[in-house]
Amino acid sequence: MANTFLRSSADAVGTSAEVLYTVPSSMTAVLIGGLLSNTSNATCNATVTVTIGSDVINLIGENTPIPANTALSFIDGKIVVQTTDVVKVKGSVAGAIDAHLSYMEIDV
């Protein structure tokens, strides 16, 4: 079983949910850190979700405000995700949010 540390980023996130990470087949992953940066001069609301099967779970509150030119960590502990689970992010202002996700994939 191989463990690999990886990262995924999305710059200038739009107002529709964008895929930040999809767990590959035959893998389990542990989300170990996530950061949203508001690069605009105004408050932007952000939503981060993980889709598990048909369930959509918020990793932060729906439309969480992020003040201008600040960042917000959206993972406080480790989160286990499995094959085909999808992490998505969206903002209320197009292009205002940059997202970064750190995770470890485990080959099962």
| Number of domains making up the chain | 1
Tracing tokens 């895929």 back to the chain, one arrives at: 19
Tokens, residue 92: 């209320």
pTM: 0.92
Q: Residue 65 belongs to what domain range?
A: 8-23+31-75+86-102
Residue 93 belongs to some domain of the structure: yes
pLDDT of residue 60: 87
What sign has the CA pseudo-torsion 100, 86, 49, 14?
Answer: positive
Q: Could you give the CA distance from residue 89 to residue 82 in angstroms, rounded to a whole number?
A: 18
CA angle in degrees (0–180, nearest 5) for 24-27-32: 95
Residue 107 belongs to some domain of the structure: no
Residue 96 belongs to some domain of the structure: yes
Determine the average pLDDT of the residues in 14-25.
95
Q: Could you give the CA distance from residue 7 to residue 102 in angstroms, rounded to a whole number?
A: 4
Residue 97 belongs to some domain of the structure: yes
CA angle in degrees (0–180, nearest 5) for 92-96-101: 95
Residue type, 76: D
Residue 3 belongs to some domain of the structure: no
Q: Kindly report the CATH number assigned to the domain that includes residue 56.
A: 2.60.290
Residue 81 belongs to some domain of the structure: no
Residue 80 belongs to some domain of the structure: no
Residues 27-74: tens digit of each pLDDT: 999 999 999 999 999 999 999 999 998 899 998 888 999 999 999 999
Residue 18 belongs to some domain of the structure: yes
Side-chain-side CA neighbours of residue 56 (13 Å): 8
Burial 25-47 (b: 16+ CB within 10 A, else e): eebbbebeebebbbebeeebbbb
